[in-house]
Structure 1
Amino acid sequence: MASQAYDQPKLRGKRWWREVGWRHIVGIVAIAYCILPLLYVLSASLNPGGSLTGSNQLFRTVAAGNYTELADTNFGQWALNSLVIATVTALGTVLMGAAAAYAFSRFRFTGRRITLTGLLLVQMFPQVLTFVAIFLLLLSLGEVFPILGLNSRLALIAVYLGGALGVNTFLMYGFFNTVPKELDEAAKIDGASHAQIFFTIILRLVAPILAVVGLLSFITAYGEFVIARVVLQSQDNFTLAVGLYQWASDERNAPWGLFAAAAVLAAIPIIALFLFLQRFIVSGLTSGAVKG
């Protein structure tokens, strides 16, 4: 095999450009398209001048003043709010979606197909149609249960969980169907209940889809702005998206240096979570466990 590969003629000249060279150009352009904006924001965060126009020359000046000034702002509270809301939303979405997908995949009950179709149809309506309804619902609910009313982080989490349940359930349902039902039957013979099968067997086999859904839910809740702006009213409860918008809303007097520094720090949890879950996303845990 090695000799055959060595004997193959090398691509040269026009043929190389036609079959291989253009791919390198496309790859370089794509990398530049992704990297340059990130470098620009990082340069702006290290620019003590506090303006975006002063960052046209990347890293002309480098200083950590913008990062130290963040300690005197509400950035820490906003970051904590975002992390708590996004983490609880991701965990709740995974657990609720997995339980619903397991029920649709393993049980046969009246209205099963209609419910699945309904979950899919609900996701077709644009999210903008729900803003007024969410505001009025939380306004009325807050009069009875203030913890679930406007300006409540728990209410925002409940809204996120309700909106993410449909599409994630449908996504997990297809993955749950790839797990052989013979595993459930074998566990039932040994006396396992549905809860034991779900938590000790199925969840381990569908770990890749759980990681994907959890990551997407975390990212969505972490960076969501419109619903958070409708629900949250006070600065102490703002998320990063809402709080940073307050800084950038006045383009004439906006503290762009602080904004860029906050944006750089805000991206760290997303990168760390992606790197942590990457091994679950790319691994074939389902096929390996079934073969075992």
Structure 2
Amino acid sequence: MATTTSVEPRSSAVPGSRPRASAPVRFGRWCKELGWRHLVGVVTIVFCVLPLLYVLSASLNPSGTLTGSNDLFSTISGANYGALWSKGFGDWARNSIIVAVVTSIGTVLMGAAAAYAFSRYRFRGRRGTLTGLLLVQMFPQLLAVVAIFLLLINLKDVFPLLSTNSLPGLIAVYLGGALGVNTFLLYGFFNTVPRELDEAARIDGATHAQIFWTIIMPLVTPILVVVGLLSFISTYGEFIIAKTVLTSSSKWTLAIGLYTWASDERNAPWGLFAAGAVLAAIPIVLLTLFLQKYIVSGLVSGAVKG
């Protein structure tokens, strides 16, 4: 008697392989892992771009009011931009550029020299000086505004160039306030440069100045660019100390000049203020875009070894 055996259908799945997820499951997994990040990014972009569009629309509105700019780009005119130069905007922009550029260059040179000394040399009082710089930076420079003002007044008889209502005096104040924090930032980066390079150059007969300028400085270019950019941005838009030191309108910076326009809430020329704010932001944006390749490497590399 013949026996019949039932043959079960073979599964087409490869042994060890997972069953293919359906489309809704894949979409839900994508939303859980990556989709929410795209949503947060879109919301952040909208949150950042809308105020910029509003200011740009207000700068192109010749009516000079913010309430009339609720409808974005309903009126487009360059009258506000043309009127800036007759209001002293050109002098303010020139003063801000001079102060920011000179301060950033001086900050980089002073900070690099101090950081190189602390990183490469061992001398008495080294640790105490580093600790002192750190403690001084715990107190904001704003607390010393009165002392700075009195100091500049007393320096007027000895060094007329470093006095109140002078751009060199303001630059000197900025350089003194930025030395500590930038020294610490550069010090961590200088420690990542091998000392063997210094020793090899010294064996070849190089002096300390040659080692500093031809070997160390090119290797730490990213952090120098970062320090210079941060110094430029901070001094370009600084208001409190600049308002205390500079008294005449011809010596004002952009922060002081734009503040005088917006100080009167009822009669403020908001169109001029918006146009000046748009033009004042251009140097910062261009510098950031041009130097962005140095920013990440300059801020991160110094944290590897300290």
TM-score (norm 2): 0.88
Distance 1:116 1:283 in 2: 24
Distance 2:207 2:235 in 1: 34
Aligned-partner SS, 2:291: helix
Q: Any residues of structure 2 matched to 1:32-181 within 5 Å, and which?
A: 32-181=46-195
Distance 2:181 2:295 in 1: 19
8 Å Cα contact 2:119-2:191 kept in structure 1: yes
Q: Which one-letter code corresponds to 1:97 in the other structure?
A: G
- Which has a greater percent of helix? 1
Q: Which one-letter code corresponds to 1:45 in the other structure?
A: S
- Cα offsets for 1:130-153 (capped at 9, x unmatched): 111111111111132221111011
Aligned-partner SS, 2:242: helix
Residue 283 (structure 1) shift: 5.7
Distance 1:278 1:13 in 2: 35
State the match for 2:213 in structure 1: 199
Distance 1:197 1:8 in 2: 63
Work out which of the two has the higher radius of gyration on C-alpha atoms and give 1 or 2: 2
Distance 2:20 2:82 in 1: 59
- Cα offsets for 1:19-51 (capped at 9, x unmatched): 222111111111111111111111110011111
- Cα offsets for 1:205-245 (capped at 9, x unmatched): 00000010000000000000000000000000000001111
State the match for 1:18 in structure 2: 32
Of all paired residues, the percent bearing the same amino acid is 71
Q: Which one-letter code corresponds to 2:206 in the other structure?
A: A
Does residue 266 of structure 1 match 2:280? yes
Among candidates 166, 180, 186, match of residue 200 of structure 2:
186
Q: RMSD across aligned C-alpha pairs, in angstroms?
A: 1.8
- Cα offsets for 1:151-193 (capped at 9, x unmatched): 0110000000000000000000000000000000010011101
Q: Point out where structure 2 has 5 or more consecutive residues left out of the alignment.
A: 1-18, 302-306
Q: Point out where structure 1 has 5 or more consecutive residues left out of the alignment.
A: 1-6, 288-292
139-148 or 273-282: which moved more? 273-282
Does residue 208 of structure 1 match 2:222? yes
Aligned residues: 280
Residue 73 (structure 1) shift: 1.3
TM-score (norm 1): 0.92
187-196 or 124-133: which moved more? 124-133
Residue 53 (structure 1) shift: 1.0
Distance 2:255 2:20 in 1: 55
Does residue 220 of structure 1 match 2:234? yes
Q: Which one-letter code corresponds to 2:122 in the other structure?
A: R
